[in-house]
A and B are shown apart, each in its own frame.
Chain A
Amino acid sequence: MSLRAAYALLERELLRFFRQPNRIVGAIGQPVIFWVLLGAAFKGSFKAPGVEETYGQFFLPGVAVMITLFTAIFSTISVIEDRREGFLQGVLVAPVGRSSLVLGKILGGTVLAVLQATLFLLLAPTVGIGLSATALLGAVGVLGLIAFGLTGLGFSIAWRMDSTQGFHAIMSVFLLPLWLLSGSVFPASGAHPALAFVLRLNPLSYGVAALRHALGMGGATPGPLVCLAVSLLFALAMFGLAMRLAARPAKGDLQ
């Protein structure tokens, strides 16, 4: 693996991102609208056992994770575009392993996701969640783990796809439900036992819980160490999956 090549690809991701301002709006705008609207809508009615927060407070980490997910999705859709536009073939005939490509792409998506989700978290004081420097640092670390895992997952899905439409379909039926059922939108404590069980199987639930721990919010189970460990495992597993898939030639490698 060439770290310099990976870094070059990462830098390119960032440059591309900032050159397309509509991507910033897409990844951060929709979640913020959700947060404001749903926060206002459930202001009076939100109640769950063991949760003492307003919906605006409860939903905050979930929205940060949503931003992370959206950024990961947008970054990995570019794998499909790179393939279609031919940029990928130029990388594939370069004397660097495909692992450099995977690492550059995933790190690029991760940096962008963390950047945007952190910007959003700066809004926490507006709903009465105090932010200390340590809380923010911890949150950035957790977001980094979540983002790395989700970008790895997105990369693995995107690698063999030849159309962005296909990716959107997967996003609707798989990635969004993954987020909906992660304790981002509603807490496990008040849900139907079957749903609560699904929440416990979802690795992303542990990421959301870890973020709640980092922000000093209550109502998160299990404990911080378990949450961190599961998130780390998920991130590594997704990275491994992406590496494995990319190592094998795909029919779309050729234009």
Chain B
Amino acid sequence: MIETDALVHAYGDRRALDGVTFEVRPREIFGLLGPNGGGKTTLFRILSTLLKPSGGRARVLGHDTVAEAAAVRRGIGVVFQSPSLDRKLTAFENLYYQAQIHGFTFRETKARAREMLARVGLAERAGDVVEKLSGGMRRRVELAKGMLHRPKLLLLDEPSTGLDPGGRRDLWTYLASVRDADGVTSLVTTHLMEEAERCDRVLILDRGRVVALGAPAELVAQVGGDVLTLDARDPEALAAEVRQRMGLDASVVEGRVRIEQPSGHELIPKLVQAFPGRIDAVRLGRPTLEDVFIRKTGHRFWSEEEGGGGGR
């Protein structure tokens, strides 16, 4: 559905994408995970034909995103991170005009707009001006707008922005249902680990480079065992001693000592006894995609709070 070959994009001196190669297969929900500023949105814009890459190529549905942009646009449905609805129009009118722009006949248009509103559970709000809908409802109208012309491939940029937990769940259920019922492939960008874990496959992007690519379970399995995180006043010294005295692969990530270890729980008493008074807190966790990210990049994923803007 999507193939890219060494995609590069530079904003001035800064390389937002630095040689990104990957492939999205038919009928999968493909996640594009990365911190804000990692290159997700740039990649998203190239795939949706809004941006020409500075180097490399991307093919979407078998068409080049630059040379055959019109053919790409016919086959994709796009849901932007920022709203694309006309707030002065009703939900129905927004879909109605979108369908017209996509070349539906007048009769088809109305039926299709109604059908899509019903599918996202907004049939009763069809006549409400978008301004008056809640944030979550607006996102649902956006989704309906993106799906209106029955695209084979959906591109969604941070689709859960502004959705409450229930709305997020509905969104993922919906993506899975169109994948299973209509064979629709979705590419979803996200900076949320929980979301990425629901994808069939994930590409982790950091500083414009591919950090990892695979099914979430596979990626997590690479980390192996458990992850122990230790709070300490002098993490560097503690990590060095753990390496030396216990022969473990301890590293310091963002001020905490981190150890990957099968059967991590057995290690906790040993550590506490070996370093009396030097460990303030111990956390034992199953590895997550965040651990995959940390292992591959050596730094933490941005916290969610920092990611609010996401303009780039």
Chain A residues near B (Cβ < 8 Å): 2, 4-5, 7-9, 11-12, 15-16, 19-20, 82, 85-87, 89-97, 100, 253-255
Which B residue sits closest to A253, measured CB to CB?
A: B50
Q: How far is the CA of A89 from the CA of B98 in the complex (A)?
A: 12
**Chain A interface helix/strand/loop/mixed:** helix
Which A residue sits closest to B74, measured CB to CB?
A: A95
Pairs across A and B, CB under 8 Å, 14 listed:
A11-B97, A12-B86, A16-B88, A19-B88, A86-B82, A89-B50, A90-B84, A90-B85, A92-B50, A93-B49, A93-B73, A95-B103, A100-B101, A254-B45
Total chain B interface residues with beta-carbon distance under 8 A: 31
Interface residues of B in 56-109 (CB under 8 A from A): 70-71, 73-74, 76, 78, 80-89, 93, 97-98, 100-103
Question: Shortest CB–CB separation between residue B261 and chain A, in angstroms?
Answer: 45
The interface centre, meaning the residue of A11, A15, A94, A253 with most chain B CB atoms within 10 A of its CB, is: A94
Question: Shortest CB–CB separation between residue A84 and chain B, in angstroms?
Answer: 10
- A94 and B102 in contact, given A12-B97, A253-B50 (Cβ under 8 angstroms): yes
- A254 and B51 in contact, given A5-B101, A16-B89 (Cβ under 8 angstroms): yes
Q: How far is the CA of A129 from the CA of B101 in the complex (A)?
A: 44
Q: Which residues of A contact B50 (CB under 8 A)?
A: 89, 92-93, 253-254
B84 touches A89 (CB 8 A): yes
Residue from A85, A89, A92 in contact with B87 in the complex, judged by beta carbons closer than 8 Å: A85
B51 touches A2 (CB 8 A): no
Q: Is B4 an interface residue (CB 8 A)?
A: no
> Beyond the given A95-B71, A95-B74, A254-B51, could you list 10 further A-B residue pairs with CB under 8 A, ordered by the A residue number?
A4-B101, A86-B84, A89-B84, A90-B78, A93-B50, A93-B78, A94-B98, A97-B70, A255-B80, A255-B81
B103 touches A5 (CB 8 A): yes
A87 touches B100 (CB 8 A): no
The interface centre, meaning the residue of B51, B70, B102, B145 with most chain A CB atoms within 10 A of its CB, is: B102
B86 touches A87 (CB 8 A): yes
Q: Which residues of A contact B73 (CB under 8 A)?
A: 93-95
B101 touches A15 (CB 8 A): no
Q: Is B48 an interface residue (CB 8 A)?
A: yes
- A91 and B101 in contact, given A15-B89, A16-B86, A16-B89 (Cβ under 8 angstroms): yes
Question: Shortest CB–CB separation between residue B49 and chain A, in angstroms?
Answer: 6
Which A residue sits closest to B146, measured CB to CB?
A: A90
Q: Which residues of B contact A85 (CB under 8 A)?
A: 83, 86-87
B86 touches A4 (CB 8 A): no
B80 touches A89 (CB 8 A): yes
Q: Which residues of A contact B70 (CB under 8 A)?
A: 95, 97
- A20 and B88 in contact, given A9-B97, A96-B101 (Cβ under 8 angstroms): yes
A94 touches B101 (CB 8 A): yes
B83 touches A9 (CB 8 A): no
